[in-house]
């Protein structure tokens, strides 16, 4: 096996501890600051410490889509992370694995030196071209600079008011480097004012409680305002739902949908070709790979089961990868609920939450396609249960 090693250094004025903590939170911070490289990072085994297995979906700015890694070392004393990528097209068909040694070395001036060492474990006698080695290094540099550009990493807040009648939330940030060493606290009054057309006006008021005579620069005030706007636009989602009544009991449908991997390809092969659980046992936390049939305009998807609640006949899952997202969505979350009816039947009530990319607005045609797909599969399963009443 050929081993190729590359490394570089970048000096920063920020302390090693800040970078180490940010990289410990890589699953959350990387997709926010470098979405072209990282789409999602999900720990499928472990708690984020040594031994954790992490599934990575990459963004549109890199020539690969997926990877799986194991955290080998998480050393807070030496500000060091070591992880090995052992699966996925990030290995380019030329590597058995890649091991990344990421170290933040404290500097005398209070800053640090970022020093990653990248070990490419090549298949056989394979020699990676210089272009591929540079691509990996430049990717590391880009993500580091993006994380470095985040001006704070932590904060602690208290919820002061949560008023569902007036659609108001008030909270106070009282701790953390988000206070920039210049504030005693920040209080955010967040209000959503209903509009006559059925929409609303988002109106946040931000109160900066400065230390002593401190005056925050206009740049800092604008940064906070722009952050609020960015988060609001990211939260803005498109939700659709509908209801279908059935004479069959909620328990039968819930059991059938728990067996979705088997029943869906049988009763609706135009929509579902195969469904395979690649992590988990079919319960909460399971990761499922979906191949779609020829009757829909997409081929693949990957989802995570968020909730499987037999007491309330509820299943919630999030699709986080695949061309089912149409290049327009970060994810789709499906809340599937079967509500028992007094007559012994039930009401099938799915709620579909489309988490759009940036300012994307899904067309009415796309929303209807998803809803009609749900209805079609439900009716097919309902017909199967009627024809096979002993099942489920």
HSE, side-chain direction, 13 A CA sphere, residue 298: 16
**Percent of the chain's residues with pLDDT above 90:** 65
So where are the chain's domains? 3-148, 156-236, 239-387
State pLDDT tens for residues 343-361: 999 999 999 988 888 667 7
pTM over 0.75: no
**8 Å CB contact between 311 and 292:** no
pLDDT value of position 287: 94
pLDDT(151) > 80: no
As a whole number, mean pLDDT of residues 100-104 equals 96
Residue 148 contacts residue 124 (beta carbons within 8 Å): no
- Weakest mean pLDDT among 5-19, 133-147, 224-238, 369-383: 224-238
pLDDT surpasses 80 at 234: no
Which CATH number does the domain 156-236 belong to among 1.10.10.10, 3.10.180.10, 3.30.70.1560, 3.30.530.20?
Answer: 3.30.530.20
Say whether 156-236 and 3-148 share the same fold.
yes
In three-state secondary structure terms, 92 is: coil
* Cα–Cα distance list, 82 to 5, 49, 89 (Å): 14, 11, 20
Q: What does the pLDDT read at residue 367?
A: 86
pLDDT band at 90 (very low <50, low <70, confident <90, very high): very high
Instruction: Report residue 74 as tokens.
Output: 């998480």
Question: Within 10 Å of residue 150's Cβ, how many Cβ atoms?
Answer: 13
Q: What number is the average pLDDT over the span 231-254?
A: 85
Over residues 169-208, the pLDDT tens digits come to 999 999 987 887 889 999 999 999 998 877 788 899 999 9
Nearest to 346 by CA among 218, 196, 245, 201: 245
Q: Own/partner pairs for 341-344, CB < 8 Å, 24+ apart?
A: 341/245, 343/247, 344/247, 344/249
Q: 16-30, 207-221, 304-318: lowest mean pLDDT where?
A: 207-221
Confidence of residue 104 (pLDDT cuts 50, 70, 90): very high
- Predicted confidence at residue 359, as pLDDT, reads 67
Tokens of 275: 């469904």
pLDDT in tens, 263-273: 999 999 999 99
Q: Give the burial string for 105-120 (b: 16+ CB within 10 Å, else e).
A: eeeeeebbebbbebbb
pLDDT in tens, 276-331: 999 999 999 999 999 999 998 899 999 999 999 999 999 999 999 999 998 888 89
The average confidence (pLDDT) of the chain is 90
CB atoms inside a 10 Å sphere around CB 342: 5
Which residues are 103's β-sheet partners? Answer: 80, 115
**Tell me, what DSSP letter sits at residue 352?**
E
User: Helices H, strands E: what count in the chain?
Assistant: 7, 20
Question: Domain 3-148, what architecture?
Answer: 2-Layer Sandwich (3.30)
Residue range 97-115: mean pLDDT, rounded: 94
Q: What is the pLDDT of residue 1?
A: 72
Share of the chain above pLDDT 70, in %: 98
Alpha-carbon gap, residue 92 to 64, rounded angstroms = 8
Residue 171, SS3? strand
Q: Are 214 and 182 in contact (CB under 8 A)?
A: yes
The architecture (CATH level 2) of 239-387 comes to 2-Layer Sandwich (3.30)
- Identify the pLDDT of residue 387: 93
């Amino acid at each position: 096996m050929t081993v190729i090693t590359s490394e570089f250094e970048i000096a920063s004025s920020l302390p090693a501890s800040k970078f180490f903590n940010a990289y410990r939170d890589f699953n959350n911070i990387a997709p926010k600051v470098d979405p072209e490289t990282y789409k999602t990072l999900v720990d499928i085994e472990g708690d984020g410490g040594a031994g954790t297995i992490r599934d990575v979906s990459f963004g549109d700015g890199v020539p690969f889509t997926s990877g799986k890694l194991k955290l080998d070392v998480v050393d807070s004393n030496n500000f060091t992370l070591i992880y090995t990528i052992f699966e996925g097209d990030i290995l380019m068909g030329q590597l058995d694995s890649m091991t990344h040694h990421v170290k933040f070395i404290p500097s005398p001036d209070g800053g640090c030196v970022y020093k990653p060492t990248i070990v490419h474990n090549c298949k056989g006698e394979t020699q990676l071209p210089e272009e591929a080695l540079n691509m990996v290094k430049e990717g590391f540099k880009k993500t580091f600079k993006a994380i470095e550009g985040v001006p704070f990493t932590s904060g602690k807040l208290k919820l002061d008011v949560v008023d569902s009648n007036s659609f108001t939330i008030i909270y106070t940030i009282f701790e953390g480097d988000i206070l920039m060493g210049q504030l005693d606290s920040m209080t955010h009054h967040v209000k959503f004012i209903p509009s006559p057309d059925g929409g609303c006006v988002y109106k946040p008021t931000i109160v900066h409680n400065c230390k002593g005579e401190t005056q925050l620069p206009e740049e800092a005030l604008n940064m906070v305002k722009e952050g609020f706007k960015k988060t609001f636009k990211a939260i803005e989602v498109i939700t659709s739902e509908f209801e279908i009544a059935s004479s069959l009991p909620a328990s039968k449908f819930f059991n059938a949908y728990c067996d979705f991997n088997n029943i869906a390809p049988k009763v609706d092969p135009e929509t579902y070709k195969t469904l395979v659980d690649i992590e988990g046992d079919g319960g909460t936390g399971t990761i499922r790979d979906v191949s779609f049939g020829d009757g829909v305009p997409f081929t693949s998807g990957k989802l995570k089961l968020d909730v499987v609640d037999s007491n309330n006949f509820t299943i919630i899952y999030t699709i986080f990868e695949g061309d089912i997202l149409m290049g327009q969505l970060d994810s789709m979350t499906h809340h599937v609920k079967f509500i028992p009816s007094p007559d012994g039947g039930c009401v099938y009530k799915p709620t579909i939450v489309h988490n759009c990319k940036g300012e994307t607005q899904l067309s009415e045609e796309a929303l209807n396609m998803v809803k009609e797909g749900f209805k079609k599969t439900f009716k097919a399963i309902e017909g199967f249960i009627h024809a096979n009443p002993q099942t489920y």
